[in-house]
Amino acid sequence: MSKVLELKPLKKKHLKLIMVESEFPIDWWFQAPKKIKEDLVWNLHLISKEYLQLIEELINKYKPDFGSEEKLANWDELPNQIDPLEELFKKKEIPFKHVDIDENARDYLSSVLEEHRTTIKKLQDKIRAIIKEKGGIPETDEFFQRLVLWKEYLEQDYEQQEDEVRYNIREAWMMMNILNLAKNVEGEKFKGLFICDLRHFNGIEKLANELGVDLEKIKIKRSIKTEEVEKELEKDVEIELEK
């Protein structure tokens, strides 16, 4: 069943939303690049114990009535769909939901751009064929130059339209999902915790202001402890030398 995007202020309810930066960037596309699909670390959806501890501390501090997290673009395709953050909220007995654009809306918007993807693919194939035929890039060939320029134009236009969905449209859907979670909370005043990519902070803040939602933003500072990793790598080197 298709959902309708509808953003309205909460009636007789007041929401304070604590928006927390995700530990790692949460990228989103209609079609994930091949190199991302093959990225083992990205596909494992790893979350550090330090970040989990931070979220637990925020839960203890703010005592949210519900939690939510921006959904990964290819969540349904991941080999590991266990989300430590969801498990944490479950342990705390706090309602939790992944939020994203409606699947039917996503499919429709993707289909609108299908012609772009098809044309770009044909242009790429033609450009590669010419390069192979000429034994290199024919820099003085005007037809070849037009092909390259047309491909670049289409790619820029595609990226602009995908960005519109990635930010403005998805942010509206995520906010609607958050408000729907809030509607199920009893009482007039309550808090929600929302974990998302830093790039959505401005868009969500704008929507929150329009909808009468109080917003608190929490950005994280990253530091990498390399001592343990370096020791393990040294062990590996020692083992190699002993062979």
pTM of the model as a whole:
0.84
Q: How far apart are CA 2 and CA 96, in angstroms?
A: 22
Q: 195-213 burial by CB neighbour count: b if 16+ within 10 A, else e?
A: bbbebbbebbbebbeebeb
Domain count, the chain: 1
Note the pLDDT tens digit of each residue in 43-63.
Answer: 556 788 999 999 999 999 999
Instruction: Give a yes or no: residue 150 inside a domain.
Output: no
Q: What's residue 134's pLDDT?
A: 86
Q: How far apart are CA 239 and CA 243, in angstroms?
A: 7
Note the pLDDT tens digit of each residue in 86-118.
Answer: 999 999 999 999 999 999 999 999 999 999 999
Q: How far apart are CA 165 and CA 159, in angstroms?
A: 10
Selection from 5, 11, 1, 2 nearest residue 211 by Cα: 11
Instruction: Give a yes or no: residue 7 inside a domain.
Output: no
Note the pLDDT tens digit of each residue in 134-191.
Answer: 888 888 889 999 999 999 999 999 999 999 999 999 999 999 999 999 999 988 999 9
Average pLDDT, the chain: 87
Instruction: Give a yes or no: residue 185 inside a domain.
Output: yes
Instruction: Give a yes or no: residue 153 inside a domain.
Output: no
Q: Tell me which residue range forms the domain holding 201.
A: 14-101+166-242
Instruction: Give a yes or no: residue 18 inside a domain.
Output: yes
Helix (H) or strand (E) holding 98: strand 96-99
